[in-house]
Amino acid sequence: MSGPIRLLLADDQALVRGALAALLDLENDITVVAQVGRGDEVVDAARAAAADVCLLDIEMPGADGIEAAARVKAELPQTRSLIVTTFGRPGYLRRAVEAGASGFVVKDTPASELADAVRRVHAGLRVIDPTLATESLTDGDSPLTERERDVLRAALDGATVAAIAGQVHLTPGTVRNYLSSAIGKTGASTRAEAAVTARRRGWL
């Protein structure tokens, strides 16, 4: 008989990470072997701890959970990733699946269901929050190009066009063009509204 499922937890909030670890360590067939607070620490920690499954939050410093899932898929193909997030956004779900995550559930999932999701992902199955799956199908793909996403991310904190241009290494005129296009695609009236709308839909 094989040993317990070796689990890595990645969440930038230590309290959340600790609570998840305490809950999942109660399961006889799951053991938490590593905990990290940054997305760019996931692959090295998973490799060092020989993790079977990585439980990843989305919003973390260093790299978000979706980027971390893509790196795990590329560098540790035997290790599965399960996204567990407060942000149940259909766009995030689509991007996570495209990045190679095996599952996507929200943090208010009961502990028993979360443990079951870990088991199913470890067994090679895909686990997707059913409500989000339905919303994802009706919401459609992101209409934004990679460059439009870049300028909208930079616009989230209210930066000027000149500041955005410096941040994304484009001319102010090019930035204005991308912002104008993104505003049209999101149905917004300002760049700030476009950025917020795109983020809410999980396109950023």
Bridge partners of 34, per DSSP, are: 8
Domain of 167, in residue numbers: 146-200
- Name the pLDDT band for 138 (thresholds 50, 70, 90): low
Question: If DSSP codes are grouped into helix, strand and coil, which group holds residue 191?
Answer: helix
99/185 same-domain check? no
User: Sheet holding 103-106: strands in order across?
Assistant: 30-36, 5-10, 53-56, 80-85, 103-106, 127-128
Task: Record the tokens describing residue 4, joined without a space.
Answer: 């317990």
DSSP 57-98: -SS-SSS-HHHHHHHHHHH-TTSEEEEEES---HHHHHHHHH
Across 142-154, average pLDDT? 88
88/107 same-domain check? yes
Question: Helix, strand, coil % (nearest 5) of the chain?
Answer: 55, 15, 30
pLDDT at 171: 92
66/122 same-domain check? yes
- pLDDT over 80 at 140, yes or no: no
How far apart CA 151 and CA 161 sit, in angstroms, is 9
How does pLDDT run across 5-49, given as a tens digit for each residue? 999 999 999 999 999 999 999 999 999 999 999 999 999 999 999
How does pLDDT run across 101-132, given as a tens digit for each residue? 999 998 888 888 899 999 999 999 989 887 77
43/78 same-domain check? yes
User: How many domains does the chain contain in total?
Assistant: 2
How does pLDDT run across 53-91, given as a tens digit for each residue? 999 999 899 999 999 999 999 999 999 999 998 866 767
pLDDT at 201: 78
54/75 same-domain check? yes
Task: Kindly report the three-state secondary structure assignment for every residue of 6-67.
Answer: EEEEECCCHHHHHHHHHHHHCCCCEEEEEEECCHHHHHHHHHHHCCCEEEECCCCCCCCHHH
pLDDT at 142: 75
pLDDT at 109: 83
How does pLDDT run across 90-100, given as a tens digit for each residue? 678 888 888 99
104/30 same-domain check? yes
- pLDDT over 50 at 1, yes or no: no
- pLDDT over 70 at 175, yes or no: yes
40/112 same-domain check? yes
pLDDT at 135: 64
Helix (H) or strand (E) holding 188: none
How far apart CA 189 and CA 74 sit, in angstroms, is 39
Task: Record the tokens describing residue 98, joined without a space.
Answer: 């495209």
132/153 same-domain check? no
CATH at 28? 3.40.50.2300
